Chain A
């Protein structure tokens, strides 16, 4: 057997040098206390109507900066559905307590040069579909620039201050102490809007199914969108195909059981399958206490 030390370095090892340094902040995010019991409910959602609406809107305004994609319709559908299921728009704090955010801010995972990062669409439920699309395009292009700058700055810090990396594990604890014991820290924490619900679309990379720890214990849910599939069906004795979008809702079992999560997913499905009615129109403020579409 070849001794371990004699195994040649993998191809491109020089390019991977410093990779763990870059990932250190993420690695520490996976600490034991951040784990949570996650479950997932999933269903296939028909995209025919969403596809028609997307094409119509893009014909009206062909500007690439305001082009509507499935992602934008999904974001809008999720934001609308969260209005009626606000417990999923919350965060978990220490001592089994939950804080429900006063705004629905949808965080999107964006892949930039192999490093996943997030953009946040604030108050997505109050924006029109076109506004969501415009804001999303602007944020993604901005993030591409700023992230590159941030990563190169982080590289410089790692090279000049090796101790910085060794102390990375302490950052979450320092944040926690600041939040708990400093009034200013607490106010900043409450005012920060890091995205109250996560939407990720590995389907754009061709992923057909994925069960993973997609969000950390401070969020209560994550919508996971997979690659669009063609599902066979028999209609009037003839073989046909329909486009479906496998959509999964990962949720924290501590906050609710599967039926409550399934109800949120059903409402997202209702929004996506009739987007002209729920997503494209003007933004209505919901009546407080109205029963329409409630949990």
Chain B
């Protein structure tokens, strides 16, 4: 039997440093000046009609694709939620917002971006997401192992240090110089979409509190379906499935009533999904 001994794992450890280097952009974005005042709003959508509709389609849809269609439909009534805001005076409101769908890739979530220009119809977008799910390359996560005694060589350490310093300086200068900031701002939508959708229901998560970083204005999170027990028409108790949704939105930009209206619109589309087809 081997003992459970782990060394202090730090940035000089090759496997951990590889993982952390991948998150450098995330760490930079998560510094305090980049936080948005993110508020969390929760609503549940009844799933009876949704389940019937998505399974009876010619191409059945999963939950994520169905919610993406409802989200795209709701964005037509209020595009502010798919805008990008850098916290100063740049607010980009697209005509056809791209939706970024979170995909679990081990240690970090990857975003699959579905272009709003190509898939402006909610159902086309949902079909595209459903079809692309199988095409997403599986990224092998860095294995969590009980520490490694192996240390990076001095050359590798210096090389990594130089790379990180360069990235950090780049971020600082980008932030200071408006043209560079604008160039960076322009690439955000293509990298992560105008609005992001994440489905934590696959992990069984029943409640969530998220945060928001600039330039995104809102994100939608789907949780695990819940069963609500209520008295039925004949007096007996019946159980009905509901889908909890959490909208994280920038409170400094969007008033709460507008956020409620938007989320109700998503819920409305999920409650009666035929409205997505009627639109055609």
Contact = CB atoms under 8 A, between A and B. Distances in A.
A84 interface: yes
A253 B211 contact: yes
B27 interface: yes
Given A83-B4, A257-B109, A288 B146 contact: yes
Contacts of B203: 41, 258-259, 262-263, 266
Contact of B229 (A97, A233, A248, A263): A233
Interface stretch (B6-14, B74-82, B169-177): B6-14
A209 B207 CA distance: 10
Contacts of B107: 256-257, 260, 295
A255 to B, nearest CB: 8
A41 B200 contact: yes
Nearest to A289: B145
B95 interface: no
Contacts of B5: 102
A99 B35 contact: no
B276 interface: no
A113 B229 CA distance: 41
A294 interface: yes
A239 B104 CA distance: 37
- Chain B, interface size: which category? 35 or more
Interface residues of A, number: 54
A190 interface: yes
**Secondary structure at chain B's binding surface: helix, strand, loop or mixed?**
loop
Interface string B223-251: 01001010000001111000000000000
A288 B141 contact: no
A14 interface: no
A285 B3 contact: yes
Contacts of B106: 260, 295
A100 B11 contact: no
B166 interface: no
A114 to B, nearest CB: 26
A266 B204 contact: yes
B29 to A, nearest CB: 9
B60 interface: no
A234 interface: yes
Nearest to A32: B32
Given A39-B209, A42-B206, A239 B237 contact: yes
B227 to A, nearest CB: 7
A126 B5 CA distance: 12
B20 A98 contact: yes
B32 A86 contact: no
A288 B2 contact: yes
A17 B30 CA distance: 39
B146 A86 contact: yes
Nearest to A263: B203
B210 interface: yes
A194 to B, nearest CB: 15
Given A37-B30, A257-B108, A211 B209 contact: yes
Given A85-B144, A98-B9, A288-B145, A259 B104 contact: yes
A32 B31 CA distance: 11
B205 interface: yes
Given A102-B8, A232-B229, A259 B210 contact: no
A73 to B, nearest CB: 20
Given A37-B30, A233-B227, A43 B204 contact: yes
Given A232-B229, A285-B2, A288-B2, A262 B209 contact: no
B16 interface: yes
Given A85-B144, A96-B11, A266-B204, 19 more contacts: A40-B207, A40-B209, A42-B205, A43-B224, A87-B144, A102-B6, A102-B147, A234-B227, A239-B237, A246-B207, A248-B207, A253-B26, A254-B27, A258-B210, A259-B104, A286-B4, A287-B1, A287-B2, A295-B106
19 contacts: A35-B32, A37-B213, A38-B211, A39-B209, A41-B205, A42-B206, A44-B206, A100-B8, A100-B9, A233-B239, A246-B207, A254-B27, A254-B30, A256-B108, A257-B107, A258-B205, A260-B107, A286-B146, A294-B144
The 8 closest A-B CB pairs, nearest first, are: A42-B207, A262-B203, A100-B9, A232-B229, A259-B104, A234-B239, A40-B209, A257-B109
